[in-house]
């Protein structure tokens, strides 16, 4: 009885901290959006962006007539861009998991934490590999595409071998050793009879949210339109100065030269080009600098959901599933 009372007290304190955190987020958001957008002329409030957001999202997904040609009938024109982006992410998946096999982090072989870490490591690997190939003058689909194919086939073959090994000959129970089923039953009975924190402690508000499939589905449904708008927007031609001047201009010139070299007329290309190498990789795989640049933008858009996935994984691993979802 005393243990349950103490657990309830801990749960109440945790709920209070959750509500305080939510209140802090609302107060900070109100303070942040009370300012105007920088360099806006005339001044535009940040809050106005939120007020116009539903209309902006609806216009992106369901465009109205009277403007430039647009609509879902033009979506097939982006299929080649999505294909190139998918190939790059497939290579990141393969090489990332192969790298983690060598690094051996303390993560289960099949879990979300390992998957997001593998994609991040894989994207970095592809970027460095593109840089190396470019410095040696090997900017062609054969070496870079072959590298991606090798990563996918390498990880895929290892997984296939592990799956076959796990489906090996069935173990026959012996008289000296208890059966697996009996061991599982005795273990479950022991766990059920032993009081644990999970059984005695009252779940917190965040944990109740994380355990509700309805709330998780609702949250993902709210995020889906934003991700769709980001994906569609990433495959549009850029208009910003820095993007046209060096983020994509540098990879374009490297692609046209067939190698990565010093560009004396563009000082910005002397900066470290890490994500820009992914744009260059997309140009090489697509065989066209313009379409490849749009495919590269789609790859870079994937960094946003990957970052959210990583934050979720850290919150769930270090604190609780509820913290990860919040």
Per-residue pLDDT tens for 124-139?
999 999 999 999 999 9
**pLDDT tens digits for range 76-89:** 999 999 999 999 99
Task: Summarize the confidence of residues 175-185 as an average pLDDT.
Answer: 44
Phi and psi, residue 173, nearest 5°: -65, 140
3 state SS of 45: strand
- Give the Cα separation of 299 and 87 in Å (integer): 10
**pLDDT tens digits for range 207-242:** 666 677 787 788 888 889 889 989 999 999 998 888
How far is the CA of 315 from the CAs of 14, 23, 111, 210, 221, in angstroms?
15, 19, 15, 12, 21
Structure-block tokens of residue 54: 């539903």
Torsional class of 287: left (φ above 0), alpha (ψ -120 to 50), beta (otherwise):
left
pTM over 0.85: no
Angle 122-315-230 from CA coordinates, rounded to 5°: 55
Domain coordinates of the chain in residue numbers?
80-159+203-326
């Amino acid at each position: 009885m005393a243990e349950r009372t103490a657990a309830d007290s801990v749960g109440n304190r945790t709920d209070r901290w959750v509500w305080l955190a939510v209140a802090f987020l609302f107060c900070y958001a109100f303070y942040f959006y009370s300012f105007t957008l920088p360099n806006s002329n005339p001044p535009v409030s940040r809050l106005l962006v939120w007020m116009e957001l539903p209309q902006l999202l609806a216009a992106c997904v369901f465009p109205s007539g009277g403007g430039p040609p647009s609509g879902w009938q033009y979506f097939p024109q982006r299929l080649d861009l999505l294909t190139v982006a998918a190939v790059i992410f497939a290579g990141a998946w393969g090489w990332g998991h192969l790298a983690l096999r060598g690094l051996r982090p303390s993560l289960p072989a099949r879990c979300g934490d390992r998957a997001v870490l593998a994609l991040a490591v894989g994207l970095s690997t592809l970027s460095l590999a593109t840089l190396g190939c470019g410095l040696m003058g090997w900017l062609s689909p054969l070496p870079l595409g072959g590298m991606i194919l090798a990563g996918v086939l390498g990880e895929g073959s290892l997984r296939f071998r592990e799956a076959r090994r796990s489906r090996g000959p069935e173990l026959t129970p012996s008289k000296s050793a208890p059966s697996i089923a009996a061991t599982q039953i005795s273990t479950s009975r022991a766990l059920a009879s032993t009081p644990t924190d999970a059984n005695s402690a009252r779940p917190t508000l965040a944990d109740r949210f994380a355990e509700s499939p309805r709330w998780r589905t609702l949250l993902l449904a709210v995020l889906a339109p934003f991700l769709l708008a980001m994906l569609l927007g990433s495959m549009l031609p850029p208009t910003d100065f820095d993007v046209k001047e060096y983020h994509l201009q540098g990879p374009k010139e490297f692609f046209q030269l067939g190698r990565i070299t010093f560009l004396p007329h563009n000082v910005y290309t002397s900066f470290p080009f890490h994500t820009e190498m992914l744009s260059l990789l997309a140009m090489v795989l697509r065989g066209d600098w313009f379409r490849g640049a749009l495919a590269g933008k789609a790859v870079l858009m994937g960094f946003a959901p990957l970052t959210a996935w990583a934050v979720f994984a850290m919150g769930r691993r270090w604190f609780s599933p509820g913290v990860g979802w919040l």
